[in-house]
Amino acid sequence: MSRGPKTVAVIGLQWGDEGKGKIVDLLSGRADVVVRYQGGNNAGHTLVVDGRQTVMHLVPSGALHAQAVCVIGGGVVIDPTVLLQEVDELRARGLLAGAGSLLVSQEAHIILPYHKAIDQARERKRGKGMIGTTGRGIGPAYEDKSARTGLRMADLSRPEHFTKRLREILADKNDYLHAMLAEERLDFEAMIRELLDCGRRLAPMIVDTSSFLDAAIRAGKTVLFEGAQGALLDVDHGTYPFVTSSNTGSGAVANGAGVAPRQLRRVVGISKAYTTRVGSGPFPTELNDALGERLRKEGGEYGATTGRPRRCGWFDAMVVRKSVRLSGVDAIALTKLDVLTGIDPLRLCVGYRLAGQAIEGIPALADDYEAVEPVYEELAGWSESITAATSVEQLPAAARRYVARLEELVGVPVGILSTGPGRDQTMMLSDPFDFSS
Ligand code: GDP
Ligand code: IMO
Ligand code: MG
């Protein structure tokens, strides 16, 4: 057995909703600790176990496994009401039962009611130019973090101090809401009452999660880092400004969880066998036709957080290749291959053209990316159902060829292959928690 940290990160390689919840749940069976490290309740991670569906927004997707300690790191922005509601629902099912089964970083910033109000009012004001945010206050909360006007879990643990700071900040926020966005002012008394109530309930969970994780990793525990959103929604490397407000690649694990970069050993990148996007922004391989509608219907492509229909299109190797490079992905978890059954021919995007010229990479300017034309390669489809396949050998030859070509194009192997939403509909071709090599 080789020495070194037993840590794995699972990250999205497209525009989110790649199936992170399913894969994290699956891998959590062998994890001692499962950690969310960025984003907030803009995430919607779906787990299907024995036919029962659970959607996680803030609590790590390891929560269905009793042995796994769930951690919410300092890079996450937390809406306390949403977190407690999720905890209550899980506890009612006998999950997250013991003290210490969920730990929340004292450094995590709090999403406050004015963050949501500002997020939603700005979107209304943008009209057709809207980003299509989830309206959960994510952007304004991260803005306050950078502007050094945010409130953190550590503040919430001190009611008197928190009350004083919130009163000061809310006065400013109300002026902004009223003068700039023509919104109603928010009431301080109701807000503080609810927040302090949440603070009392959360207090036992609020700890120094960074030190906890360091000790766990040094003790040889297996730790799974659960990404939210996807690489193309990254605030630096995504399709700016049509992005979320956090870093979503493996680079964010260190800052968001509070561990050293070299404490992350392995990176699993998740991709659908096609592409989806929810919200506005460029999407070169989008299908605005019956085929797009078919993918939406067969794939159940409706947002797990907002219920919005997801935009659907062909697999884009240009997108996934960039994400693989940025995050140092070791292996791909390829999901939803079953959804492509019955579509013939299939297409893979292998390059881009802009103004008639072949281009390398993804243009930085959204307007340019919007104007890009995808270059496609056609492959034969298959018609046999693959949802019960348990090995690659059982897949139709055309499905094997599709996966092999996709691997070639993105430059890393498929290590996990998913052919349905259930835990058992998964082929583990190489185990990310096997550190023997
Ligand atoms: P996440 O945000 O990355 O966790 O993904 P979502 O949960 O938002 O969306 C993925 C959806 O696809 C969920 O409804 C999953 O249950 C479902 N899903 C995951 N893997 C597969 C698969 O291989 N096949 C099918 N048909 N559905 C899948
Ligand atoms: P999971 O973790 C898909 C998108 C929104 C919008 C943009 C900005 O389930 O993959 P925000 O509310 O973050 O300011 O919205 O980002 N978005 C997601 N799309 N999956 C997600 O999370 C997303 N989280 C945010 O639709 O386009
Ligand atoms: Mg999702």
Indicate whether 223 and 176 sit together in one domain.
no
**Do residues 323 and 359 share a domain?**
yes
Q: In terms of domains, do 198 and 212 share one?
A: no
Alpha-carbon dihedral 328, 333, 338, 343, rounded to 10 degrees = 10
Q: Are residues 168 and 222 in the same domain?
A: no
Looking at residue 76, what is its pLDDT? 99
Q: Name the amino acid, one letter, at 289.
A: D
Query: Of 161, 180, 204, at which residue does a domain stop?
Result: 204
Q: Interior CA angle at 343 toward 416 and 413, to 5°?
A: 25
Pick the last residue of a domain from 204, 228, 254: 204
Token pair 């070791």 in the structure block, residue: 330
In a domain, 433, yes or no: no
Domain count of the fold of the chain: 2
Is 434 part of any domain? no
Residue 1 placed within a domain: no
Band of residue 304 on the pLDDT scale cut at 50, 70, 90: confident
Output the domain CATH number for residue 62: 3.40.440.10
Q: Same structural domain for residues 198 and 216?
A: no
CA of 14 to the centre of ligand 2 (A): 11
User: Are 225 and 198 within one domain?
Assistant: no
pLDDT attached to residue 1: 46
Per-residue burial over 53-83, b if 16 or more Cβ lie within 10 Å, else e, is: ebebbbbbbbbbbeebbbbbbbbbbbbbebb
Of ligand 2's atoms, which has the minimum distance to the CA of residue 16?
10
Claim to verify: residue 42 and residue 76 sit in the same structural domain:
yes
Residue 265 lies in a domain: yes
Amino acid at residue number 287: L
Residues 224-255 have pLDDT tens digits of 999 999 999 999 999 999 999 999 999 999 99
For strands 222-226 and 6-12, give the pairing.
parallel
Residue 92 structure tokens: 């009612």
- Active-site pick, 25, 32, 45, 65: 45
Q: Are residues 188 and 225 in the same domain?
A: no
Tokens linked to 391: 């090995």
Cα gap 241→42, rounded to integer Å? 17
Residues 278, 415, single domain; the answer is yes
The answer to whether 59 touches 83, Cβ cutoff 8 Å, is: yes
Question: Closest residue (by CA) to atom 9 of ligand 1?
Answer: 17
Is 45 tagged catalytic? Answer: yes
Spacing, Cα 159 to ligand 3 middle (Å) = 34
pLDDT tens by residue, 247-294: 999 999 999 999 999 999 999 999 999 999 999 999 999 999 999 999
Query: Is the separation of the CB atoms in 327 and 231 below 8 Å?
Result: yes
Is pLDDT at 2 greater than 60 in this prediction?
A: no
Residue-number span of the structural domain to which 234 is assigned = 7-106+208-428
Nearest residue (CA) to ligand 2, atom 3: 16
Residue type, position 4, single letter: G
Taking each continuous run of H as one helix and of E as one strand, the counts in the chain are 13, 20
The packing angle between helices 113-126 and 159-181, to 10°, is 20
pLDDT category, 437, cuts 50, 70, 90? confident
Three-class DSSP category at 259: coil
CATH number at residue 131: 1.10.300.10
Distances (CA, A) of 104 to 78, 87, 257, 408: 9, 12, 11, 40
Q: What is the rounded distance in angstroms from the CA atom of residue 284 to the CA atom of residue 319?
A: 10
**Angular region, 178: left φ>0, alpha ψ -120 to 50, beta rest:** alpha
State pLDDT tens for residues 105-125.
Answer: 999 999 999 999 999 999 999
How far is the C-alpha of 144 from the C-alpha of 139, rounded, in Å? 9
Residue 34 has pLDDT above 50, yes or no: yes
3-state secondary structure labels for all residues of 379-407:
ECCCCCCCCCCCCHHHCCHHHHHHHHHHH
219 and 135 both lie in a single domain: no
Q: At what angle do helices 317-327 and 397-410 cross, to 10 degrees?
A: 50
Indicate if 76 and 114 belong to the same structural domain: no
Residue (of 134, 109, 107, 108) closest to 120 by Cα position = 134
Single out the residue in 204, 231, 251 at which a domain terminates: 204
Is 338 contained in some domain? yes
